[in-house]
Amino acid sequence: MLIKGFSKRFRHILPALIHFVRCISWRCGRPFICSSLDLSMLKSRLQPGTIILSRRNYEFSNLMIRGYWKHAAICIDETRVAEAVFEGARIREIVDVIRGSDDFKLIRPGFGDSTVCHEASKYAERMVGVPYNVLFKPDANSLYCSELVLNAYEKAMNGKLDDTPFQRMSFRYHRGYVIEPDHFLALSM
């Protein structure tokens, strides 16, 4: 009972704590490594359903997310991505996501066909406005970044993830484990 009461009170201060942690950075005016990158060479790889993993150095929040990659987004089309951030699920220009990063990786799932990728991108786009999942637990009413990408592909495949790299991620997610951006690396192997 004591733990339940604590958990309930903690839930109300968690958004404020996360907002505070997001503001802690020791970038100190350093430009993002990818800020001057010529993205024209990437155009052919930026297709609906492509997953973008990214990382920003000098962020305190990096200490709280395991693995090298700290954020996941999904391409909606050749110029825009859907992502879940503290403000909620939103659409951003791909150029802003990549140039606002110190490193990034593009992953095109190697299973299914382009229809699955298009359906995943459409689902992700419909999620715009859904609140951020500050508890990082399965919740139908909120999303964190990796959860948005995983749910988009789950919906696109009608939950039939058997024999795909998503199967293990989905299994873990539905048992309460946090899906981290690094988990998507299994799709590129």
Q: What is the pLDDT of residue 105?
A: 95
Q: What is the mean pLDDT of the chain?
A: 84
Q: 9 pLDDT band (50/70/90 cuts)?
A: low
Query: Model-level pTM?
Result: 0.85
CA nearest to 120, candidates 175, 44, 67, 187: 187
Cβ burial of 37 (10 Å; 0-12, 13-18, 19+) is middle
Q: 122 pLDDT band (50/70/90 cuts)?
A: very high
Phi, psi torsion values for 73, nearest 5 degrees? -140, 165
CATH class of 39-188: alpha beta
Dihedral sign from CA coordinates of 157, 52, 61, 84? negative
Rounded (to 5) percent helix, strand, coil in the chain: 45, 15, 40
For residue 80, pLDDT beyond 50:
yes
Range of weakest confidence among 23-32, 108-117, 147-156: 23-32
Domain boundaries of the chain, sorted by first residue: 39-188
pLDDT tens readout for residues 140-173:
899 999 999 999 998 998 877 777 777 778 878 8
DSSP annotation of 181: G
- Distance, in Å, from the CA atom of 178 to the CA atom of 172, rounded to the nearest integer, reads 8
